[in-house]
Structures are given as C-alpha cells and as structure tokens.
C-alpha cells in the first residue's frame, strides 16, 4: 500500500472525516423522538434492585454481567502491560529521582483524605452518585501519589498482594454471581439480600480496581528484555 503525497493525503482524509461528520449530523438531526425510554422501567424496578441510585442499580444488578466481564478485561489488560516488558514477574517500576520535600508533605496530608474519600464514595454509591469505580479511581490516584512521593508502604509494593488483590475482586463477583445459580439464573440476587450483596461486590471491586488501575501506571515496564536473535 503506497501512501499518497503528504498534502493530497491530508486533504483526502480531512475531507473524508468531515463528510463522515456531516452525514452523522444530518442523521442525528433527522432522528425522531426516542421510542424507548429506559429510565421508566429502571425506575419501576428500583425497589427490587437493592439500591436507590439508578446508575448503580443498572451497573451492578440489571447489567451486572457487563461489569463482571469488564473486571476480567481490566485484569487481562494489566497482565498485558506487565508482560510487555518480557520479564516473568510483575515488577514495580523504579522511582526516577529523589522526591521533592513539598510533594512528600502534601502527600502525607492528602493520602489519608483520599482513602477516606474513597471509602465514602463506595458507601454513597447505593443512594447517590458514587460507587465502586469512582472510589477505585480515587484510591488508585492515592496509591500513585504515595508511590511518586516515595511513601508507598512496603506491604503495598509486594507482588503477592498485587496478585491476590487483583484477582480477589473478580472472584468475589463471580462467586456472588454464581451463588444464585442453583435457584435461578446467573446474577439473579435474591431480592432481600440484593443490597448487601451489591455492597459486598462493590467492596471487592474497589480494592481490586484500585490495585489494577494503579498497577497500570506503576507496573508499566521500564526495562525490557533483549530480543533473542
């Protein structure tokens, strides 16, 4: 496949994308009113879902299967990131330079607050915006901040904790999902237990996701294996 001359190719691609955009805008403006409004049925079934926030109910109950698969995808992505270095172990990257004193003081102040915020977001997800993903994001940011300031506790640096923690969330979710399998379908939480089960799943998810998300940054390989010739 030969590339055209630079300018012609740029113009061709730009015109192509612009016409794609134009066609899409035309299609969107011609859309009729939505035929199906999912907010209604979600609202109608909320009292059977175990939580009172609609997005959390959809994410962990009505469409829980998607979230289960999402955790598996994240796990695979982290394994891919660590494997790109070619080594057999998931290693922590090196801290490039001595951390600045101001960064250290700021981190000592912020890190406990971030953990607290993550815990609150996790709990609040059942009745307000929040939930496992937001809590995990804040917790992951706290872990990365601690690492960059050189203050990451030894326990959080070990590989074993990472491996156990990463998989634990997925396993907890899978266990809770498979547990009703005897009575009905996969992921069909018994209604009186639904709220507690969702909180259990979300706690596991938060820890796992925080380790995975921070791991995506912290385990990015710095050194690479030399290729065998």
Partner 1 sequence: MIALAFDLLLAASLLWAAFRALTTLDLFRAVVMFIVFGLLMALAWARLDAPDLALAEAAIGAGLAGALLFDSVGHLRARGRSRP
Partner 2 sequence: MTPGLLFALTGIALFSSGVAGLILQTHLLRKIIAFNVMGSGAFLVLVGLAQRSGEPDPVSQAMVLTGIVVSIAATALALALARRLLNLTGEMRFPAEGQDD
Q: Would you tell me which residues interact with partner 2 (CB under 8 A)?
A: 1, 9-10, 13-14, 16-18, 20-21, 24-25, 28, 31, 33-34, 37-39, 42, 54-55, 57-59, 62-63, 66-67, 70, 73-74, 77-78, 80-81, 84-86, 133, 209, 213, 216-217, 220-221, 224, 227
Smaller CB separation from partner 2, 62 or 197: 62
Give me the half-sphere count of Cα atoms (radius 13 Å) on the Cβ side of residue 142: 24
Distance, CA of 57 to CA of 42 (rounded, Å): 8
- Closest distance to partner 1 from the beta carbon of 133 (Å): 6
The token duo for 50 is 């175990």
Distance, CA of 198 to CA of 64 (rounded, Å): 10
Q: Are 139 and 118 in contact (CB under 8 A)?
A: yes
- Closest distance to partner 2 from the beta carbon of 33 (Å): 6
140 forms part of the interface with partner 1 (CB under 8 A): yes
Which of these, 156, 152, 165, lies nearest to 74 by C-alpha position? 165
Site stretch for partner 1 (CB under 8 A), options 8-16, 21-29, 83-91, 215-223: 215-223
The token duo for 184 is 């009905």
The single-letter DSSP state of residue 45 is: T
Binding site for partner 1 (CB under 8 A): 55, 96, 121, 129-131, 133-134, 137-138, 140-141, 144, 213, 216-217, 220, 222
């Amino acid at each position: 496949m030969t590339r055209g001359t630079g300018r012609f190719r740029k113009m061709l691609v730009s015109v192509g994308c612009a016409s794609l955009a134009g066609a899409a805008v035309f299609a969107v403006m011609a859309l009729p009113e939505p035929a199906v409004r999912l907010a209604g049925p979600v609202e109608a079934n909320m009292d059977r879902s175990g939580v009172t926030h609609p997005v959390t109910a959809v994410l962990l109950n009505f469409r829980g299967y998607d979230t289960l698969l999402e955790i598996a995808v994240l796990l695979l992505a982290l394994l891919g990131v660590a494997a790109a270095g070619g080594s057999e172990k998931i290693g922590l990257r090196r801290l490039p330079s001595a951390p600045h004193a101001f960064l250290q003081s700021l981190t000592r102040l912020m890190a406990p607050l971030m953990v607290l915020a993550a815990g609150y977001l996790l709990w609040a997800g059942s009745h307000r915006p929040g939930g496992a993903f937001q809590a995990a994001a804040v917790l992951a940011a706290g872990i990365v901040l601690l690492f960059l300031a050189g203050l990451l506790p030894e326990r959080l640096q070990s590989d074993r904790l990472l491996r156990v923690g990463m998989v634990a969330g997925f396993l907890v979710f899978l266990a809770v999902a498979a547990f009703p399998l005897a009575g009905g379908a996969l992921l069909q939480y018994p209604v009186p237990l639904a709220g507690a089960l969702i909180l259990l799943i979300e706690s596991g998810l938060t820890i796992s996701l925080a380790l995975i998300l921070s791991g995506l940054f912290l385990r990015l390989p710095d050194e690479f294996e030399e290729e065998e010739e």
